[in-house]
Structure 1
Amino acid sequence: MERYDLIFRLYADFDAEGLRDVQDFLDVFPPVDSRTALDYWQDASDELEERKDEIREAFAAGDEFAEMAARASRDQAFTALDLHSKYDRGVNALVLDVDETLRSAGRTDNEIPRQTLHLLTQFHEAGVPIVICTGQTLENVKGFMIQGLGNELVHSGDFSIVYEAGTGVFTPGHGSQTKKLLYDGLDSEVREVFDEVRSRVLPQAPDDLRESVHLQGNEFNVTLKPNFDIGSDRAEAVIDRGLVYLVDLLGRAVYNAADVPDVAAEDADPEGWARAYYAEADPEITTVLDAEDAAPECVPEDVPDPIRSLFERIDVAYYHADAAEIGSLELNKTEGVKAALDVLDVSDPFVLVMGDSKSDLRVMRWAEEESAGIAAAPEHASEDVLDHVRSTDELVYDRGDAASMLRIAYVLNVLDEL
């Protein structure tokens, strides 16, 4: 019998939803030191085994189908089947953004839900490495991941953190490779640009802008964040002004760092060159510059080669009503993920990438271009991310419901074992 028919029979003939409810209860609420609670937990455990035994006896691959019914809904199981039919393999690593991906202030009070944490534990127990890929600092990420997943899992040797958007990679249990500082490869010219931008970005900002934003990132990632609720009209206004300021500041810093012998000082237009170059690179930046009456007066072809060569190594990113940032294109999540997978010895990766921002989109595109994985995003992700995800496998999930994608990936791996 075809797998489609077997899965159809599984969800038609058995109470998979009831089985999943019992499984979720046992996963999220382990036994506690109370006689009444222990009795209740034991009753649920017995019920779970009875329900699974019914499925085990009905299918040749009974264990796998019982696990499938306990972990995923009918729609999730068929989505996993479609993915396996398309790619003919399961995922051998998870690559996961945190903020607004695993956790969301909109639905989960900015905590990673228990069910999501438990599913990550299940993947770990199945031998699937986990790569957390975030713009946050190592200390911050390491702290809440130990709190959520436990010290043993984080230090197991199958867990890695790509932090500060690719500045470094932390993979405990791998000796000299435990901590890799990817910025060691940057040359002095790029370092000079970021040093100047960071030293000037707040002190030289106009008063109204300086009072409305705060700084995030590190020496190779400079991010302006609003002092207002993300997504609000006030946040949109200040980030749009901040983007123009940041582009101009970058243009001046690149001009100071580069050698442009063929351009006289009085003819130099570093701010205009930066606006022209980055407007051409990103339509969203073009829209903001136009709206802020800051459209470039020159064209991209006017940018001198030494200036362009530095621009090509530096990224400007705009996140609507959320952030404006510059970062090194040589220090990004994609490079961090590849370094992490190398340390984890995932030689032929096929990963599940989950994220919401343009920095995650680069990882998603790498996975697609290299046939190295699939991508999923929350419904409130940036439009570019959603466009990519919808054009590939349509793995879009509700805000705060990362667990649904993990369930699909879990069943995908179960199917791959059959």
Structure 2
Amino acid sequence: MERYDLVYRLYDEFDTKTLREYQEFVDVFPAIDSRVALEHWQTASEELEERKEEIRDAFAAGETFAEVAARATRDQAFAALDLEAKYGRPVNVLVLDVDETLRSAGGTDNEIPRDTLHVLTEFHEAGVPIVICTGQTLENVKGFAIQGLGSEIVHSGELSIVYEAGTGVFTPGHGADTKQLLYEDLDAEIRDVFDDVRARVLPEAPEDLRRGCHLQGNEFNVTMKPNYETGSARAREIIDDALVYLLDLLADAVAAAVDADGDGDDAVAWTRAFYAEGDPEIRAVLEREGTYPDVDVDGIPEELRSLLERIDVAYYEADAAEIGSLELNKVVGVERALDVLGVEDPFALVMGDSKSDLRVMRWVAENDAGIAAAPEHASRETLDHVIRSDELVFDRGKSVDVLRTVYALNRFARLG
């Protein structure tokens, strides 16, 4: 019988909904020092095992079908079958963004849900390395990883953290390769530009920006964050101002680095025009602020353009304005993490919501090295890419749904 027919039979003949409820209760039942509670958990565990045994006895590959039914819905199981038919291999590494992906300020109270953490633990136990790939600072993400995943996983040698969107990689348990500062590989010219901007960004900021923004504790990138609730009208206003301010600081630093001809006003206009041409969101901010330049980008001096082409300016509405190096990005960080982890033939699940995550998604697509998933509120370009590939779109705060689909994919792939 075809595998699809077997899965139809599985979900038609067995009460898989109740089975999943038992499995989830057993998996995430909190540790409570109560005899009554422990007896309740034991009773549920026994009922779960009996229901799984019925499925094991009904199919030749009963263990696989029992585990899939206990964790994946019908739709997730069939999505997994489609992925297995298309790619013919299991996912052997997880590459996961954190904010607005694993957790969501609007859906999970900014915490990674316990069911998500448990599924990640199961991937780890199955020998699938985890790469946390985030724009956060290392100290922030280390704290959440140890608190959520546990010190044992973090220090297992099978977890790597790509932090600050690729400026560094931290892989505990790998000796001299444990912490790699990728920005140290940049040439002096680029590092001088960032040193210049970082030294001036707060001391020279207008008073409203000094009061309304703070610098994220980055090792290399220059990131301005609002001192207001992310997403609020005031945060949007201050980050729009911060974007224009950072562009102008960058213009001055780059012009000084290349000793560009013309006065400072020329460098500012060219820099604004350069980034506005490449990013519609940046152009929209400049237009709203009345600072969009009336210049022809074709007139940008080549020595100035060649340096700007190596520097990224990112705008996250009502959340952050950032300057980073295009030579340091999540793709570079992920490649280094995979090398340290020893993943030589990756087939990754890449989950994320932003433009920086999209670069990794495109990289795995171009190299037949994985699949991509995104939350429904991801950036438009990211969502378009995911929909065009495998349509792995999940609701806000429900990254566990895709993880369960991939769990089922890996189970089916073992059957050959």
With normalisation by structure 1, the TM-score equals: 0.96
Secondary structure of 2:216 counterpart: strand
Offset from partner CA, 1:58-117 (integer Å, 9 cap, x none):
111000000000111111111111111221211110011111111112122211111111
Alignment of 1:200-239 (within 5 A): 200-239=200-239
Q: Distance in 2 between matches of 1:51 and 1:30?
A: 22
Partner of 2:320: 323
**Whole-angstrom distance in 1 between the partners of 2:236 and 2:31:** 47
> TM-score, length-normalised on structure 2?
0.96
Task: Kindly tell me the number of residue pairs found equivalent between the two proteins.
Answer: 415
Q: Counterpart of 1:21?
A: 21
Query: Does structure 2 conserve the Cα–Cα contact (< 8 Å) formed by 1:98 and 1:132?
Result: yes
Contact 2:374 2:394 in 1 (8 A): yes
Aligned partners of 1:416, 1:334: CA distance in 2, in Å?
Answer: 27
Match of 1:163 in 2: 163
Whole-angstrom distance in 2 between the partners of 1:214 and 1:266? 30
Provide the residue aligned with 1:278 in structure 2.
Answer: 275
Matched with 1:390 is: 387
Counterpart for residue 146 of structure 1: 146
Q: 1:111 to 1:293 in 2, by over 3 A?
A: same
Residues in 1 aligned to 2:366 and 2:152: alpha-carbon distance in whole angstroms: 34
Structure 1 residues 59 and 325: CA distance shift in structure 2, 3 A: same
Q: Which runs of 5+ in 1 are unaligned?
A: none
SS of alignment partner, residue 166 of structure 1: coil
| Contact persistence 2:252–2:264 (CA under 8 A) | no
Offset, 1:384: 2.1
Match of 1:78 in 2: 78
Whether contact under 8 Å (1:198, 1:219) holds in the other structure is no
Is 1:341 the counterpart of 2:338 in the alignment?
yes
1:19-62 residue CA offsets vs partner (Å, 9 max, x unmatched): 11000001001664322122211111111111001100111100
Give the distance between the partners of 2:190 and 2:223, measured in 1 at CA. Answer: 17
Distance across 2 between alignment mates of 1:23 and 1:141:
29
CA contact under 8 A between 2:91 and 2:348: conserved in structure 1? yes
Contact 1:31–1:37 (8 Å) recurs in 2? no
Distance, in Å, in 1 between the alignment partners of 2:289 and 2:23 is: 54
Matched, 1:136 2:136: yes
What is the match of residue 7 of structure 1?
7
Superposed, 1:3-402 pairs within 5 Å as 3-29=3-29, 32-260=32-260, 263=261, 265-266=262-263, 269-402=266-399
In structure 1, C-alpha distance between the alignment counterparts of 2:25 and 2:263, rounded to whole Å: 71
SS at match of 2:101: coil
Amino acid at match of 1:411: A
Deviations 1:234-269 (A, max 9, x none): 222222222111111111110011143xx3x44871
Following TM superposition, by how much is the alpha carbon of 1:199 offset from its aligned partner in structure 2, in angstroms?
Answer: 1.4
**Range 217-226 or range 76-85, more displaced:** 217-226
Return the alpha-carbon distance in structure 2 between the equivalents of residues 354 and 92 of structure 1: 14
Whichever residue aligns with residue 409 of structure 2, its letter is L
Distance 2:195 2:84 in 1: 47
> Shift of the alpha carbon at 1:196?
1.1
Q: Please give the secondary structure, in 2, of the residue aligned with 1:105.
A: coil
After TM superposition, give the deviation of residue 388 of structure 1 in Å.
1.7
The one-letter code matched in structure 2 to 1:208 is D
Over the matched positions of the two proteins, sequence identity in percent amounts to 68
> Could you tell me how far apart the structure 1 residues matched to 2:402 and 2:281 are?
29
> 8 Å contact 2:94–2:349 — kept in the other structure?
yes
Contact 1:31-1:41 at 8 Å conserved across structures: no
Greater CA drift, 112-121 or 283-292? 283-292
DSSP-derived class of the 1:210 partner: helix
The answer to which of 75-84 and 31-40 deviates more is: 31-40
Asked if the contact 2:94–2:348 (Cα under 8 Å) also holds between the matched residues in 1, the reply is yes
Query: Could you say what secondary structure the match of 1:284 adopts?
Result: helix
CA distance in structure 1 between the aligned counterparts of 2:217 and 2:316, rounded to whole angstroms: 15
Which segment drifts farther, 144-153 or 68-77?
Answer: 144-153
Pick closer, same or farther for the CA change 1:267–1:314 going to 2, 3 Å.
closer
Distance 1:227 1:30, change over 3 A: closer
Q: Distance in 1 between matches of 2:150 and 2:282?
A: 41
4+ runs deviating over 6 angstroms: none
| Counterparts of 2:114 and 2:408, CA distance in 1 | 19
